[in-house]
Amino acid sequence: MRLAVLVGGKGRGSNMKAILHACKTGRIPSEGALVIAPKDDIPAVGIAREYGAEIAILSPKEQHFAADLVAILAAERIDLLCLAGFLKLLPVEVLQAMPDSILNIHPALLPKFGGKGMYGVRVHEAVLRAEQLESGCTVHYVNEQFDEGAILWQMLCPVEPGDTPETLAARILPLEHECYVEAIRKWIADHGKAGRKASM
Ligand code: GAR
């Protein structure tokens, strides 16, 4: 089982860190994880180095991003690609190269409060505007639309009276870390440890 984490340009990297930590402690049965980041000078890359993860620098702004990403995933024999803070749509070539093997995390209970432009604080603002009593996070399969793939795992928490987008985000973030690890464990259990590649 080989796993890769694709982080975004802001690259805070807290979900990536939770995944690397779970690989290190054996909670996720993967031979470490490859971290793919758009640039070197973001916090996620520093954290990845501390964990001794392999790192590939590849920006979605590059002309051959799709082909290069597919080549990296193949060369590294990656079974599962996890998006963590990567906020762009993935090119179709990448989706086709990794069928049912790309996950993303979203900081709300999809199918509500997702879609283009819905990330970070905007998601929590929308939840509060809609006067929801609960929120949470969702790990879902990635397809050609924003936040629309099949849901794999969700975790819930209450929205408290007086919550601000920031307090809600702070309650949900640790839940995201737990949710992503559990979702990956479920994916591995559902697909078998050897995964898709074993039949090739
Ligand atoms: C996370 O909160 C994740 O749910 C969100 O980006 C953040 C990345 O943080 N993703 C989206 O909103 C996707 N629509 P991290 O870099 O600390 O993992």
Residues of the chain with CATH 3.40.50.170: 1-99, 105-190
18: amino acid identity, one letter: A
pLDDT tens across 122-149, in order?
A: 999 999 999 999 999 999 999 999 999 9
Ligand 1 site residues (CB inside 6 A) read 12-16, 84-85, 87, 105-107, 118-120, 123, 147, 176
Ligand 1 centre distance from Cα of residue 114 (Å): 12
The residues, ordered by sequence, that sit 6+ positions from 98 with a Cβ below 8 Å of its Cβ are 73, 78, 81
Contact 184, 1 (CB under 8 A): no
150: amino acid identity, one letter: A
How many Cβ atoms from other residues are within 10 Å of residue 144's Cβ? Answer: 11
- At the top level of CATH, which class does the domain 1-99 belong to? alpha beta
- For the entire predicted model, the pTM comes to 0.95
Closest CA to 152 of 188, 187, 112, 114: 187
Ligand 1 centre distance from Cα of residue 199 (Å): 33
User: For the chain, where are the alpha helices, taking DSSP H only?
Assistant: 14-25, 43-50, 65-75, 92-97, 121-129, 165-191
Q: How far apart are CA 125 and CA 198, in angstroms?
A: 44
- Residues with catalytic annotation? 106
pLDDT at 195: 41
* CATH code for the structural domain at 105-190: 3.40.50.170
Give the CB-side neighbour count of residue 49, counting CA atoms within 13 A: 8
**Alpha-carbon distance values, 175 to 46, 91, 138 (Å):** 23, 29, 10
pLDDT tens across 2-58, in order?
A: 999 999 998 899 999 999 999 999 999 998 899 999 999 999 999 999 999 999 999
Residue 2 DSSP one-character state = -
